[in-house]
A and B are shown apart, each in its own frame.
Chain A
Amino acid sequence: MKFRRGDIVLAVTVLAGAAALFLPLGGAGLWPRADMLLWIAALIVAALPALDYLARPIAAFLALLGAVMAGAALYGLIGAGARGVHAYGLWLGVIVLVVLSWRAMALSAALAAANKSNLLHLAAPILLGVWTIFMWQVLTVGFDIPRVLLPPPSDIAASMVASSRDLALDFVQTFIRAMIPGYLIGCGAGFIVGVLVDRVPFLQRGLLPLGNLVSALPIVAVAPIMVMWFGFDWQSKAAVVVIMTFFPMLVSTIAGLAALSRMELDLMRTYAATYGQTLWKARLQAAMPFIFNALKINSTLALIGAIVAEFFGTPVVGMGFRISTEVGRMNISMVWATIVVAAVAGSAAYGALALMERTVTFWHPSLRKVA
């Protein structure tokens, strides 16, 4: 029988896992019976994939199940009061869990590589995400890390539930009232100016380098000026967003309208197409990948602009306001809750744009499926 490196690692891990059962647990005394049984079962389940005659999907599933069971056992241990640096049994268990989840991730990633199913491709990243949150919870609680430094995810979730009304109002103020109008005006203006400028080569040559330069500048810093001009409410935040989103859109529109080659333009001319027809039927279509790129970049920029502008003064509502005041009150779990909302909103906006891009620029090589 030939030993593979992975099997040796697994064997060592299982032995270490067994040893963890006999090590001290800080405050908790010995392993509670239920957790002990769950832990042993987890080790056995996780060790099964080493047997060669299991099919790969089953092996991946067993590795995953073992990791989840081990995680549940450790979570029970934390609940039973295992704390502190001296809880050697707990920390050895955590190290064992790291190896087990890595193995589960590797097996599911290998399975995804051999398979075309979209669901499987999501398995490894989701596993990593869940694993990170779990580790965050176990480490912050297990090491008794002060809440003001890094609250455990359970605290953040509790804050989200408890202050869901505030969070919703902040979301409406920052996302719906400040960011979306600013985003629409900024992107719209950038697009229109881009199309107009495209007719005048002189302006085009002048604006492209300037636009590129402006894209590198810290535009967020105009926020205090906008707050002075447009007041504390959402108008000033929308103005910041307009300025931030205008230039990326302008540059992308100009670049996108220049994307068609001589050949296609000549073809349009042989059809006796007017300027408007060429613009609408050929050039704007070709510009769409560029424009969507700018729309996606801008969606992140816009949210940043709307939030940072609130650091310079707001009515008593808004994500940026919430972050800066709750930081001042050292209520860090509420800050994290707001960040979670911002992250989800930002990702959702980006995802929606990506979906739209798929339908509009279905012809683009990067989106065509290889037959």
Chain B
Amino acid sequence: MNSLAQRLRDGHALPVLAIVAVLIAVWYLGAIWLNSQRIIDLYEADEDMKGKWTTSDLIRDTLSMNRPVLPAPDQVVMELDRSVLEVAPTSNRSLLYHAWVTLSAALVGFGLGALLGIALAVAIVHVKTLERALMPWVIASQTIPILAIAPMIIVVLGSIGFVGLMPKAFISAYLCFFPVTIGMVKGLTSPEPLQLDLIRTYSANEGQIFRKLRWPASFAFLFPSLKIAVALAVVGAIVGELPTGAAAGLGARLLAGSYYGQTVQIWSALVLASLVAGLSVAAVGWAERITMRRMGGRA
């Protein structure tokens, strides 16, 4: 028991829980504070309530408004419960359906982007001219707000008949591929001269060096980049749903919510988007641990 108490004291779980609890408390206080003005105005306009309302009335009403400025956490949870569990996942009123629309585009884009990024990195590592000429552009492209071109890609691809999943996947792929390229170039060049010299004394050719040394060595760099990339892929898919009023997807829910002032809907879409992103990153982390264990690493 002592060790458990000690682990609680020194580990991350307790502090994280404590901070989350404080955040939720702050959220409730914030909801009361931000919503109170409108409720008080309502009270003052009402003959029966004018001057007679109590603080507990105020708290109760601010936490159960229809279109609050800031919905209370339990309202968001209720909305999630209503739109995730009580509606069939295939219905377009189900948030799960919208999450799947977004996630599928993000995953296709992630796959495409990761493959492209790896291919580009392999080319850069093996062709000296490309490394000199292209690598500075890959790095510079990181400083460009790529997400800004999302609406254009959607509309332009839409005008030549590409609609639905693929345009969004392209945006995700575009966002993904830079971190993967940079991580992979680092990874593929991570073997030290000593190791390269050794494998050359075995008279390995370029292909063998790649297969047996560079490729396995790159994995330690590949997975952290993939985690960044998959989070970006989700962002890309969401932003890809913003322009031109896409009908389905978390981004479309956000936009519809902001048009009609449905704050609870926005917040629940936001929470689900965070869950989707968090789970995707966790899935990549899980794949990383399995791969590293298979390869005999310590992770």
Residues of A bordering B, CB below 8 Å? 102, 105-106, 109-110, 112-113, 121, 124-125, 127-129, 148-150, 202-210, 213, 215-218, 220-225, 227-229, 299-300, 303-304, 307-308, 311-313, 319-320, 323-324, 327-328, 330, 332, 335-336, 338-339, 342-343, 346-347, 349-351
| B276: nearest chain-A partner, CB-CB | A218
A210–B15 alpha-carbon span in the complex (Å):
10
Q: Are B243 and A343 in contact (CB under 8 A)?
A: no
Q: Which residues of A contact B269 (CB under 8 A)?
A: 221
Q: Which of A105, A149, A209, A218 contacts B129 (CB 8 A)?
A: A105
Q: Are A216 and B156 in contact (CB under 8 A)?
A: no
Q: Are B136 and A125 in contact (CB under 8 A)?
A: yes
Q: Are A205 and B148 in contact (CB under 8 A)?
A: no
Q: Are A206 and B18 in contact (CB under 8 A)?
A: yes
Question: Does residue B270 face the partner (Cβ distance < 8 Å to A)?
Answer: yes
Q: Are B12 and A206 in contact (CB under 8 A)?
A: yes
Q: Are B149 and A304 in contact (CB under 8 A)?
A: no
Contact pattern, B 133-148, Cβ under 8 Å of A = 1, otherwise 0? 1111100101111111
Report whether over half of chain A's contact residues are helix, strand or loop; otherwise say mixed: helix
Q: Which residues of A contact B277 (CB under 8 A)?
A: 216-218
Given contacts A206-B18, A216-B277, A332-B152, contact A109 B145 (CB under 8 A): no
Q: Which residues of B contact A207 (CB under 8 A)?
A: 15, 19
Q: Which of B253-299 contact A (CB under 8 A)?
A: 254-255, 257-258, 261, 263, 266-267, 269-270, 273-274, 277-278, 281
Q: Are B16 and A149 in contact (CB under 8 A)?
A: no
What are 5 A-B contacts defined by CB distance under 8 Å? A125-B134, A203-B19, A299-B143, A304-B146, A320-B148
Q: Which residues of B contact A217 (CB under 8 A)?
A: 231, 273-274, 277-278
Question: Does residue B227 face the partner (Cβ distance < 8 Å to A)?
Answer: yes
A311–B266 alpha-carbon span in the complex (Å):
15
Q: Which residues of A contact B156 (CB under 8 A)?
A: 148-150, 332
Question: How distant is B65 from chain A, measured CB to nearest CB, in Å?
Answer: 14
Q: Which residues of A contact B261 (CB under 8 A)?
A: 228
| A225: nearest chain-B partner, CB-CB | B266
Q: Are B143 and A327 in contact (CB under 8 A)?
A: no
| B128: nearest chain-A partner, CB-CB | A109
| A325: nearest chain-B partner, CB-CB | B151
Given contacts A124-B132, A125-B137, A224-B257, contact A327 B16 (CB under 8 A): no
Q: Are A125 and B145 in contact (CB under 8 A)?
A: no
Residues of B bordering A, CB below 8 Å? 11-12, 14-20, 34, 69, 128-129, 131-137, 140, 142-149, 151-152, 155-156, 159-160, 227, 231, 234-235, 238-239, 242-244, 250-251, 254-255, 257-258, 261, 263, 266-267, 269-270, 273-274, 277-278, 281
Q: Which residues of A contact B263 (CB under 8 A)?
A: 225, 228
Q: Are B148 and A342 in contact (CB under 8 A)?
A: yes
The 7 closest A-B pairs by CB, nearest first: A206-B15, A224-B258, A350-B143, A109-B132, A124-B133, A128-B133, A206-B19
Given contacts A106-B129, A206-B19, contact A221 B143 (CB under 8 A): no
Q: Which residues of B contact A304 (CB under 8 A)?
A: 145-148
Q: Which of B227, B234, B243, B251 contacts A324 (CB 8 A)?
A: B243
Given contacts A128-B137, A343-B144, contact A224 B151 (CB under 8 A): no
A129–B137 alpha-carbon span in the complex (Å):
8
A151–B144 alpha-carbon span in the complex (Å):
20
| A296: nearest chain-B partner, CB-CB | B143
User: How many A-B contacts are there with CB distance less than 8 Å?
Assistant: 177
A315–B200 alpha-carbon span in the complex (Å):
64
Q: Are B235 and A220 in contact (CB under 8 A)?
A: yes
Q: Which of B69, B136, B143, B274 contacts A346 (CB 8 A)?
A: B143
Question: How distant is B85 from chain A, measured CB to nearest CB, in Å?
Answer: 22
A166–B151 alpha-carbon span in the complex (Å):
20
Q: Are A109 and B144 in contact (CB under 8 A)?
A: no
**18 further interface pairs, Cβ-Cβ under 8 Å (given A121-B132, A149-B159, A308-B148):** A112-B132, A125-B137, A129-B137, A206-B17, A210-B19, A216-B278, A218-B235, A221-B254, A221-B270, A223-B254, A311-B242, A311-B243, A312-B242, A332-B156, A335-B149, A342-B148, A349-B143, A351-B143
A320–B12 alpha-carbon span in the complex (Å):
40
Q: Which residues of B contact A336 (CB under 8 A)?
A: 152
Q: Are A323 and B148 in contact (CB under 8 A)?
A: yes
Q: Which of A223, A312, A342, A351 contacts B144 (CB 8 A)?
A: A342
A323–B242 alpha-carbon span in the complex (Å):
12
Q: Are B129 and A203 in contact (CB under 8 A)?
A: no
| B69: nearest chain-A partner, CB-CB | A229
| B22: nearest chain-A partner, CB-CB | A206
Q: Which residues of B contact A218 (CB under 8 A)?
A: 231, 234-235, 238, 273-274, 277
| A302: nearest chain-B partner, CB-CB | B145
Q: Are B142 and A300 in contact (CB under 8 A)?
A: yes
Q: Are B255 and A335 in contact (CB under 8 A)?
A: no
Q: Which residues of A contact B137 (CB under 8 A)?
A: 125, 128-129
A227–B242 alpha-carbon span in the complex (Å):
15
Q: Which residues of B contact A112 (CB under 8 A)?
A: 132
| B34: nearest chain-A partner, CB-CB | A229
A203–B149 alpha-carbon span in the complex (Å):
39
A323–B234 alpha-carbon span in the complex (Å):
21
Question: How distant is A2 from chain B, measured CB to nearest CB, in Å?
Answer: 22
Question: How distant is A237 from chain B, measured CB to nearest CB, in Å?
Answer: 13
